[in-house]
Amino acid sequence: MPRRPKPRELPSRSPRALSHSDLAGIALTDVRLDGASMDDVSLARARIRNASFGDSLLVDVTFQGATIENASFAGATLTDVSFRDARISNVDLQGVAIEDAAITGLTIDGVRVDELLAAHAAAKRAKTAATRARRPQTRRRS
């Protein structure tokens, strides 16, 4: 899978740019932040409902402990974000690029993502080990 290019610079004068802001505990309902740029923003413990972050660029944003329902991040790029202990349900993540994310305790539609990824990694290791075990051993000549 080709690696995506680094996120573009945040436009500092954009009307949809937000940086260095602490919005911890905020309730956001029925908001449209499509195409927004956020840098160094805390949405920790936020309650986000019926919101759209489509095609947005989020860098160093924390959603730690947030509840996000009926929202869209479709096409967004998220870099160095934290979803620790966040709860997400009915959220469109189609085409989202996430890099350097903290996801410990993240729950999507009732499923713990960190546990799901750990189970996937274990299954992948087991499959690799089984494949290696089936390969014929070759003897080395002395």
pLDDT of residue 16: 76
Q: What is the pLDDT of residue 133?
A: 83
DSSP secondary structure code for residue 52 in this structure: B
Residue ranges of domains in the chain = 17-134
Topology at the third CATH level for domain 17-134: Pectate Lyase C-like (2.160.20)
In this predicted structure, the answer to whether residue 25 has a pLDDT above a threshold of 90 is yes
**Measured in whole angstroms, how far is the alpha carbon of residue 60 from the centre of its chain?**
11
Q: What is the pLDDT of residue 36?
A: 94
* 83 φ, ψ (degrees, to nearest 5): -115, 25
pLDDT at 137 over 80: no
Choose the weakest-confidence range: 21-30, 59-68, 92-101, 109-118: 109-118
What pLDDT shows up at residue 139? 60
State yes or no: pLDDT of 11 exceeds 50.
Answer: no
Mean pLDDT of 58-79: 96
pLDDT in tens, 77-118: 999 999 999 999 999 999 999 999 998 899 988 888 888 888
pLDDT-based confidence at residue 5 (cuts at 50, 70, 90): very low
Task: Please spell the DSSP secondary structure of 71-103, one letter per residue.
Answer: EE-TT-EEES-B-TT-EEEEEE-TT-EEES-B-
Q: Share the mean pLDDT of the chain.
A: 86
